[in-house]
Amino acid sequence: MRLTKNTELHLLGYHKQALEYLNYFKSIPDGRFVPPQLRSFSEPTDKLSYNDNPICDDLVTEIFLEFSNRT
């Protein structure tokens, strides 16, 4: 599978968020009455969770033109 630059940036963002989640979980101090539960980070294409569907350049252009016409 050939990745486009847009897809690569979305995957980079996905992995950055996963790392932030894990780092946050590690930073929580011990000593709580109910310890927090670490949940699995969803797959990038999970429709019920992360749902990483990058938008195409044509859609961005269409949205910008619609905004421009209304303002």
pLDDT band at 6 (very low <50, low <70, confident <90, very high): low
Number of structural domains found in the chain: 1
* More confident of the two residues 42 and 22: 22
Output the pTM of the full model: 0.47
- Whether residue 55 is contained in a domain is answered as yes
- Whether residue 62 is contained in a domain is answered as yes
- Whether residue 35 is contained in a domain is answered as no
CA proximity to 14, closest of 43, 56, 35, 39: 43
- Tens of pLDDT, residues 28-60: 777 767 777 777 777 777 777 766 666 677 777
3 state SS for 3-39: CCHHHHHHHHHHHHHHHHHHHHHHHCCCCCCCCCCCC
pLDDT at 1 over 60: no
**Domain around 66:** 5-30+41-70
Residues above pLDDT 70, as percent of the chain:
76
Residue pointed to by tokens 């979980």? 25
Q: What is the pLDDT of residue 4?
A: 66
- Whether residue 36 is contained in a domain is answered as no
